[in-house]
A and B are shown apart, each in its own frame.
Chain A
Amino acid sequence: MILLLARNNIKQNPFRNTLTGLVLLLCVSLAILGHGLVMGIDTSILRGYTKSATGDFILETKDSKPLALPTLSQSFQWTDRLVVKATIIEDDIQIPVVLVGYNTKRREKIFSTQDWLTSGSWPQQEHDIATGYQLHSMLSNQEKPTIAIEDPALGLYAQSYTISGVVRTNNPALDSRSIWLPNETLSKLLNTQTLRNQILFKGEPPTSTPNGWLLSSAYDKAESMLSINKVRKRVLTSLYIIILAMAIIGLISTTLVNMDERNKELALLRSLGMNKHSITTMIITEQLILSTLFVVMGAFLSGGINYYLSENGIDLSSQSQALGSISVSLLLYTHFSIKWILLSIMGTIFLSILPPLFFVWRSSSIQPIELFGKQI
């Protein structure tokens, strides 16, 4: 009998039921994808950083003061990269930058450039440099920036360069601060072949840190960036909660409207002698079938998307470039959690059951004739 009535209901108003179903689908998808995004923010930063980072390990001098190159044991794999902190001097403004020097012959091997976007060309002439694209937008009205390395002990070395190319790595730290240049160019600026304040390399971590140097992994570096991320995460979380609350209100009101239209049907059933218990069972069964169908569908869909994004990430920066103005550099990964997906499924189904329960309670506490309204 319940199946007979469920069929009647679904056929009675396919539009109404589809709408409720879609709201359910939306709700569960929002819950799953939103959670994936919010929880994925940290992962995005970490993975974005380590993927396009400057090396597995970083040796840095204390206080960033350049030192003579330490002697490193054989187990270190020199990456042919030199990193030095410097400043771009532009009239009154000084922009702190990171100079990334590299071995021109091995550039493709040192960096995972296949994921990078470069416009223009990598430095070819003696005074050529390439800049990170966010840095480039800050320098946009300066053709030949002057780069200076300032240190009380070493004096000031400054030199003007020509920007030959713009590099986009999707590592926010690099894109906003890096200057790319061949090792030879950098060495000339440093005025010495041996002074460095940062050395990057791949391979096993060193057993002992040379005197005067600090060792950290790229992962540690990325983690220190997470603190900057905290605000962004908080905003996103609030946004997620607001949207989810709106979706839940939408879900409840749609289900409630869906139910309200069924007063006449319930009036008839009760006038035929159906009791509250059977009516409750009927309504809840119908709602469960509808909910389960759409919620599981939605969960599969959004869970699938979530899983894909958690594995591959999505490059929002190329999207934003297509849009033109806003230059957001973000390689987005989502966080995939089966637990949360199951929780979302159960939560949405539970929420979708509440309005019918309320409705049945209300409609069965009045007499059948009142349910008919004025239309006997």
Chain B
Amino acid sequence: MIINLCTYSLKSSPMSIVTQNISKTYGSGSLAVHALRPLSLTIPNNIFLCLAGPSGSGKSTLLQLLGLLDLPSTGSIRINDTMVPNTDSPIRDQLRAQHIGFIFQRFHLMERLRVYENIALSLRITHNKTLHNETELIQEALEAVQLSDKINRYPKELSGGEQQRVAIARAICKKPTLLIADEPTANLDSQTSLHIIKLLHKLHQKQKMTIVCASHDPLLIQGATHQGTLLDGSLEVDL
């Protein structure tokens, strides 16, 4: 299946992520689960794609492949103009550090590090050193998620919604090519979810972020520029 999300001409719109026939199969033989069928997907800059679909349809699998957290069973991925190696290589780590911001359903903050340090950690891994303007970058990211006043708190002193906003700040501080969110609101109540959804929309519109997310939340799906539905490992996109 080939899906091209470019609504503009190819030249004027730099493509961020291109996948070619990526698929993922767990297990083998009669126990094999085809979590994702071969998929060629072009994700240009400044798109907001939201994937829907029942549980077990392969949403997480696709996001993990896009986020370079897992190796595809077949196919390849290109980020901007770099081919992502399909072997276990430090280049994958480097590409992940520079281009991917991943937001997890369970936030995954370092419990014993302050908000500031959690974000700094991401920056230091990306740049492999402490930047001289680290503080400004962190403040900028925290402003975007409206948490500037909580910069010295520990994660456990924050509400679930606030923790997820810290996780978003951690993902966007390094200005990734692609922001990926796997059911970012699934662990939050509806009021807090709304806040996160608005925040993602704002990041897309104001900061021109490229976002791919998976969610069941109608509000999040409706606000995206593109909607996709996964069914048994196959993607259908409404253009």
For B74-99 the 0/1 string (1 means CB < 8 A from A) is 00000000000000101001111110
A273 close to chain B: CB less than 8 A: yes
Could you tell me the distance between the alpha carbons of A321 and B188 in the complex, rounded to whole angstroms? 70
A16 to chain B, nearest CB (A): 13
Total A-B residue pairs with C-beta atoms closer than 8 Å?
74
Residues 109-138 (chain B) with a chain A CB within 8 angstroms: 110-113, 117, 120-122, 124-126, 128, 130
Q: Are B70 and A367 in contact (CB under 8 A)?
A: yes
A238 close to chain B: CB less than 8 A: no
Which B residues are in CB contact (< 8 Å) with A276?
90, 93
B60 close to chain A: CB less than 8 A: yes
A54 to chain B, nearest CB (A): 67
Could you tell me the distance between the alpha carbons of A260 and B14 in the complex, rounded to whole angstroms? 43
B106 close to chain A: CB less than 8 A: yes
Residues 254-285 (chain A) with a chain B CB within 8 angstroms: 264-265, 267-278
Could you tell me the distance between the alpha carbons of A368 and B69 in the complex, rounded to whole angstroms? 5
A73 close to chain B: CB less than 8 A: no
Q: Are A369 and B69 in contact (CB under 8 A)?
A: yes
Q: Are A8 and B182 in contact (CB under 8 A)?
A: no
B202 to chain A, nearest CB (A): 23
Q: Are A273 and B106 in contact (CB under 8 A)?
A: no
Question: Given B71, B90, B104, B125, which contacts A376 in the complex, CB threshold below 8 Å?
Answer: B104
- Which residue of B90, B105, B125, B126 has the most chain A CB atoms within 10 A of its CB atom? B125
- Which residue of A273, A365, A367 has the most chain B CB atoms within 10 A of its CB atom? A273
Which A residues are in CB contact (< 8 Å) with B130?
1
Could you tell me the distance between the alpha carbons of A270 and B94 in the complex, rounded to whole angstroms? 10
A362 close to chain B: CB less than 8 A: no
A363 to chain B, nearest CB (A): 12
Q: Are A273 and B125 in contact (CB under 8 A)?
A: yes
Could you tell me the distance between the alpha carbons of A349 and B189 in the complex, rounded to whole angstroms? 49
Question: Given B60, B112, B124, which contacts A12 in the complex, CB threshold below 8 Å?
Answer: B112
B153 close to chain A: CB less than 8 A: no
Could you tell me the distance between the alpha carbons of A255 and B130 in the complex, rounded to whole angstroms? 31
Q: Are B93 and A4 in contact (CB under 8 A)?
A: no
Q: Are A376 and B182 in contact (CB under 8 A)?
A: yes
A109 close to chain B: CB less than 8 A: no
Which B residues are in CB contact (< 8 Å) with A368?
69-70
A7 close to chain B: CB less than 8 A: yes
A11 close to chain B: CB less than 8 A: yes
A226 close to chain B: CB less than 8 A: no
B21 close to chain A: CB less than 8 A: no
A208 close to chain B: CB less than 8 A: no
B228 close to chain A: CB less than 8 A: no
Q: Are A4 and B120 in contact (CB under 8 A)?
A: yes
Q: Are A273 and B120 in contact (CB under 8 A)?
A: no
Q: Are A275 and B121 in contact (CB under 8 A)?
A: no
Q: Are A272 and B90 in contact (CB under 8 A)?
A: no
Could you tell me the distance between the alpha carbons of A270 and B71 in the complex, rounded to whole angstroms? 14
Could you tell me the distance between the alpha carbons of A367 and B126 in the complex, rounded to whole angstroms? 18
B42 close to chain A: CB less than 8 A: no
Question: Given B90, B96, B105, which contacts A271 in the complex, CB threshold below 8 Å?
Answer: B96
Which A residues are in CB contact (< 8 Å) with B48?
none
A375 close to chain B: CB less than 8 A: yes
Q: Are A376 and B121 in contact (CB under 8 A)?
A: no
Which B residues are in CB contact (< 8 Å) with A8?
110, 112-113, 117
Who on chain B is nearest to A7 by CB?
A: B112
Given A271-B67, A365-B88, A367-B69, residue A1 in contact with residue B110 (CB < 8 A): no
Residues 191-225 (chain B) with a chain A CB within 8 angstroms: none
A115 to chain B, nearest CB (A): 56
Could you tell me the distance between the alpha carbons of A45 and B64 in the complex, rounded to whole angstroms? 70
Q: Are A369 and B93 in contact (CB under 8 A)?
A: no
Which A residues are in CB contact (< 8 Å) with B111?
12
Who on chain A is nearest to B93 by CB?
A: A275
Given A12-B112, A367-B71, A376-B182, residue A4 in contact with residue B121 (CB < 8 A): yes
Which B residues are in CB contact (< 8 Å) with A369?
64, 69-70
- Which residue of A8, A272, A276, A368 has the most chain B CB atoms within 10 A of its CB atom? A272
Q: Are A1 and B104 in contact (CB under 8 A)?
A: no
A5 close to chain B: CB less than 8 A: yes
Which B residues are in CB contact (< 8 Å) with A264?
108
Question: Given A7, A265, A269, A376, which contacts B105 in the complex, CB threshold below 8 Å?
Answer: A376
A–B pairs, 18, beta carbons within 8 Å = A4-B113, A5-B121, A8-B113, A12-B111, A12-B112, A265-B110, A271-B69, A272-B122, A273-B96, A274-B93, A274-B125, A275-B90, A278-B125, A365-B88, A367-B69, A367-B70, A375-B106, A376-B105
Partner-A contacts on B (CB < 8 A) = 60, 64, 67, 69-71, 88, 90, 93-98, 100, 102, 104-106, 108, 110-113, 117, 120-122, 124-126, 128, 130, 170, 182
Known contacts A268-B110, A275-B90, A369-B70; 10 additional CB pairs below 8 A are A1-B121, A4-B113, A4-B117, A4-B120, A272-B121, A272-B122, A272-B170, A273-B95, A367-B71, A369-B64
